[in-house]
Structures are given as structure tokens and as C-alpha cells.
Amino acid sequence: MNLRRAISILFIFAILSACTPPMNTLTPEPTFVPTPVPTTEPTPTPAPKEFRIIGYVAHWDIVERIQFDYLTHINYAFLIPEADGTFADMPNLWKLKKIVSEAHAANVKVLISVGGWGYDKEFEAMAASPETRAVFVEGHTRFVHDYDLDGADIDWEYPGPGADSAQNFTALMQELDAVLEPKGKLLTAAVAALGEHGEGILAEVFDLVDYINVMAYDASGSDHSPYSYALDALDYWAGRGLPPEKTVLGVPFYSRPGEAPYQKIVTEFPEAAYVDEFDYNGSRVYYNGIPTIQKKTQLALERASGIMIWALAHDTVDATSLLHAIYQAASGN
């Protein structure tokens, strides 16, 4: 091989070597990892439970003062029972019709409340006989139908803890439920907060009602309806087996002693809206101001299914409204 040819071969080899990268410097191809595909649908967030805000309205109240937007239910009081199973004539039935019309337009249910304080003898006599119970149930059902009501609230204060009275109350509720439930109507009861008067409500009633309104006020002693009494009342009924979803905590819109309406106290002394006791007309009165009402509402959100109010007419309709305070606490505003 001559020198010229040898130089040419070496030149070509050098060019080829420069164009070929070393084997140990090659970058490997990236590995493709597919994103896993879910095999099940995501779990939906549970809807919040219904929280009831129930206000009692009496036949003497002013319809225009009812704040329907803050309520879920109205109990119209009272249809008065007679010993023979009939009912006394109710005044101002035009007002009931007006309330039902405006309430339904606001998606608020209206129940007729039967009884109230002072009619224990009439309830006892009526409920003791199957015949008079039948008259009561038939007349009550007709009243619910005639006035386009959403159900019945039985306010017997109070069935006795003895066997006859408690069993008669249970029988009455069974017979009402048998008629109202198939028609899609509600059946509720107002009961004592705790103690002997509560013993007249047997556990069998819990399955018959949609819910029970616990009247956690008028406690013995001077303080009427403290937060501690609400706790005791909820403990008592939970201990009896009443489930939280059927428990409604009652709160007062009036004071003790003297039953001065919250509205009257606060109109004269606006600062009284934020405390639970006040010197009024020369004496110390006890009630629930805005902070305690909101604290009780939070308690009901945790351990019950609503708040019941006696009575709406005792409230203000301005920034100091207890009903508005309940609504704010219940809705988280």
C-alpha cells in the first residue's frame, strides 16, 4: 500500500469515528407509565340533615309579624279538646287560612296544635274510651283536611306515669298515626323536659311520631331555661331511647317570673338582648338572650334535629330577633 492511499484510509476512519457517539453516553428512552383509571364512582358528599325551626303561633297573633323565611314549621295553637272527643270552636279561623296560604307559599308546613296547658282532665277522659278516641281522631282528621294542614301536634300536659294514662296516650297516638301517616301528614307531640311528667310518654310512641318537641323551659327555680337545663333535657330523652333525628329542643321567647315577652323587655332595654337576666319592672327576670339562643341552636345541631319556639309573638322583628339568631346559627351565617 502506498503512502497516499494509507493516508486516505486513515482520514475516512477518523471522520466516521467523530460522527458515532460512544455507547456509554446514549440517553435511554423514557418509560411510559399509564395513569390508573378509577374502577368505582367517587363517594358523593352526604346531604345535610333537615334542621327544623318550629314556631308556635296563637290565634290572637298578628300574621304580618310572622317571619316565614326563617321557619320550617308553624304549630297553630290551640284546638281545645272536650271530654267527649269533640273540640271547642276555634276563633279567628280566617287567620289560620291566611297563615296556611302564606306559609305554604314560603315552603313552611303548618300543623294544628291540640290542647296546651290546663286540659289534662279533658285529655284523660277522652283518651280513656275507644269510642271517644274515635270521635277525637275523626274530628281532628277532618279539621286537618278542611284547613289544608300538614299534620297534628298533640300537646297533652301531661299523661300520667301510671299505666292507664300512659297507655291511653299511646293508644291515641297509634290511632292518629294510622289515619295521618297514609295521608302523608305529620304527627308530633310536645312533652315535658324531664322527670315525672316525661314518664307518661312510653317508648312505643317514638316509632309513631315524626318528632317530639321537648319543652326545655319553666324549670323549677329562678333561672327558667338555662343552657344546663337544655343539656339535661336532651340527656333525659336520649336515655329514654328517643333518637336525635326525632328530638326537637324547645326554647322560650319569654321570661320568668312574670312571663314578660322578650320583645317587651328588649324594646325598653336594647342591651337586654345579649344577656339572660335583667332587672325589669322592679324584679330580676330570667330568659334567653341572643348568645344563649345561638348556643342552644348549636347544641340542637349536634344532638337533635331542630329548635321549637314558644312563642313567635314574643319576638322582635329587628336586629335583636331571636328567631333570626336561630336561623343564622343553624345556617352557619
Q: 328: alpha, beta or left, given left = phi > 0 and alpha = psi -120 to 50?
A: alpha
Which residue shows C-alpha cell 326563617? 70
User: CA 105 to CA 114: how far, in whole Å?
Assistant: 24
Question: Which among 102, 138, 157, 199 is annotated as catalytic?
Answer: 157
User: In terms of C-beta distances under 8 Å and separation of at least 24 residues, what long-range contacts does 159-168 make, across chains too?
Assistant: 159/123, 159/200, 159/201, 160/124, 160/200, 161/196, 161/199, 161/200, 164/128, 165/124, 165/127, 165/200, 166/199, 166/200, 166/201, 166/202, 167/202, 168/124, 168/127, 168/128, 168/133
Query: What residues have CB less than 8 Å from 19, skipping those under 6 apart?
Result: none
With the C-alpha atoms ordered 172, 152, 158, 203, is the resulting torsion angle positive or negative?
A: positive
SS (H, E, C) 260-313: CEHHHHHHHCHHHHHCCEEEECCEEEECCCHHHHHHHHHHHHHHCCEEEEECHH
Helix (H) or strand (E) holding 32: none
Active site residue 181: no
User: CA 330 to CA 248: how far, in whole Å?
Assistant: 13
Q: How many CA atoms lie within 13 A of 3 on its CB side?
A: 0
User: CA 168 to CA 179: how far, in whole Å?
Assistant: 17
Which residues are paired to 214 by β-bridges?
Answer: 191, 249
User: CA 121 to CA 108: how far, in whole Å?
Assistant: 33
Catalytic residues: 157
